Amino acid sequence: MMRHRRRGLQFVELTAGLFVIVIIVLAFMDMSTLLTAGALNCSLARDAARAASTGPPGALAVGANRKVDASEPPYQRAAAAILKSKPNSDSFELASEIQVVETVENPIPSQPYGGPVSGNVSVATTILVHPRFILPVVHVGTIPLTASETFPYTWVMKSSLVPVSEKDSGNNQNNNQDSNYSSGSYGTGSYTSGSYSSGSNTPR
């Protein structure tokens, strides 16, 4: 009897231990999905903010934390960067909209001088995680993870003024044309050293 009880107790302990181990493993898989989605979301936000900062701002006017619409260039650059590395997984998906906010400070560049833009742009992305194992059991549905990154604007407005070096090269070309004209047939032609000055009409 004692042997049968011990064997039964060992079986119960083994079953309970395996049950706990399975729960831990499944919970670890859910946490791994959350960590993977979070790291991917941070990378997407960073790439999108970097792409948005490489061009002109949505508006060349002083403003802080101005929301950028989907029709403006910074939003479009960010969306194009996200589209290149959009996640493809059954466990998580990227939210349809992103948040783009910009800050533009003085001085504002203008033509004809141009110059750099002082300010930054922030992009916030959201990934919707769908846990499959332990979290749905405890009535945890879709988990949104949001990441935001900020980059300074690196775009520089080009000047419409002609550089001095180009002006000098243009003047040199004009001078070369004038010198070619002065040393052409008019200066050294037959009129100066031709038959008129040393020809048959000159007294011998």
What would the pLDDT profile of 37-70 be if each residue is shown by its tens digit?
999 999 999 999 999 999 999 999 999 999 999 9
On whether residue 174 sits in a domain, the answer given is no
What average pLDDT does range 80-99 have in this prediction?
A: 88
On whether residue 200 sits in a domain, the answer given is no
Which residue, among 38, 11, 24, has the nearest Cα to 128 in the 3D structure? 38
Higher pLDDT, 194 or 93: 93
On whether residue 201 sits in a domain, the answer given is no
Q: How many helices (DSSP H) and strands (DSSP E) are in the chain?
A: 7, 7
Q: Is the pLDDT of residue 196 over 50?
A: no
Report pLDDT digits (tens) over 136-168: 887 778 899 999 999 999 999 999 887 666 555
Whether 81 contacts 100, CB under 8 Å: no
Instruction: Give the domain range for residue 25.
Output: 2-157
On whether residue 202 sits in a domain, the answer given is no
On whether residue 21 sits in a domain, the answer given is yes
Give the number of domains in the chain.
1
pTM of this structure? 0.72
Give the span between the Cα atoms of 196 and 190, in whole angstroms.
Answer: 8
On whether residue 132 sits in a domain, the answer given is yes
